[in-house]
Amino acid sequence: MAELRVPLIAGNWKMNLDHLQSIAFVQKLAWALKDAGYQEKQVEVAVFPPFTDLRSVQTLIGADDLPLALGGQDLSVHDDGAHTGDVSGVFLKALDCRYVIVGHSERRSDHHESDDVVAGKALAAVRNGLVPIVCVGETAEDLEQFGPSKVPLDQLAVVLDQLKSSDDYVVAYEPVWAIGSGQAATPDQAETVARALRAAIQDKHGADAAARTRILYGGSVKSGNIAGFMKRENVDGALVGGASLDVAEFSAIVRFPAHVTMDS
């Protein structure tokens, strides 16, 4: 984590919590963060509820002025029209979403999303004033065959080709073998790939983009391992799945600066 990049802790709820549960959850999360003395300037926190919850969570954040950013878990490459079941970036923006996840490995596998589709989604996000969180990561087989960085770099290259150097985007390195497995990458592994991803951003979009773009690690992040990742120079936050559904655990992850200072 470098000083000039505000760390981002992003909670990807996946297909969990309906709109009523989401309200109760966000209220509890807001209390827990307040109790913990959470400071927005130090760490940015974003939640990614299912689409059906977005309006409820938006209303709650707005009414209580909660220090939480909102994001969608996916969006369409199109802005409107005959695309049954898809959700437009225009609609996400209208619900005050700041972020949208694109290319999550579960989208890539469940919906056969190619790198080109992911790039189209990143472009649709930027076109609509949303910041895409572009997920890249290798499977266990890829890791064995190609080593740690090749697949994430290849996936990112297709997206970077479509974006401009002035665009605001976030990259999330999520090894598929670490997602939901309880077996996180080591901080060294995450740093190696994050450093390679930042170098690719520098090659394509220049030094300024490389210096300001946040690169997250995702895959079995917990309160017990977050500090190790955040101590590394090129890791600027986390995309958290399972642990984002537990208020105590997620707010402890957000409080990582306390652990980083204590341990270092």
Binds ligand PGA (CB under 6 A): choice among 242, 249, 250, 256? 242
Name residues contacting ligand PGA, limited to 10-29 (CB under 6 A): 12
Cα 150 off chain centre by? 20
Which of 95, 107, 111, 94 minimizes the C-alpha distance to 135? 107
Q: Please say if 104 is a catalytic residue.
A: yes
First to last CA, the chain: 13
Nearest distance from C-beta of residue 69 to ligand PGA, angstroms: 16
Q: How many Å apart are CA 235 and CA 58, to the nearest integer?
A: 28
Query: Which C-beta is closer to ligand PGA: that of 132 or that of 219?
Result: 219
Binds ligand PGA (CB under 6 A): choice among 88, 220, 225, 234? 220
Stretch that binds ligand PGA, among 66-74, 194-202, 219-227, 255-263 (CB under 6 A): 219-227
When asked if residue 219 is in the footprint of ligand PGA (CB under 6 A), the reply is yes
CB contact set of 261 (below 8 Å; sequence gap of 6+) = none
Q: How many Å apart are CA 158 and CA 165, to the nearest integer?
A: 14
Residue whose CB is nearest to ligand PGA in the complex, by number: 241
Which of 7, 8, 57, 5 minimizes the C-alpha distance to 30? 57
Contact map string, positions 162 to 191, toward ligand PGA, x by CB under 6 A: ------------x----xx-----------
Could you give the count of Cα atoms lying within 13 Å of 8 in the half-sphere of its Cβ?
A: 27
Query: Which C-beta is closer to ligand PGA: that of 49 or that of 209?
Result: 49
Supply the residues annotated as catalytic.
104, 174
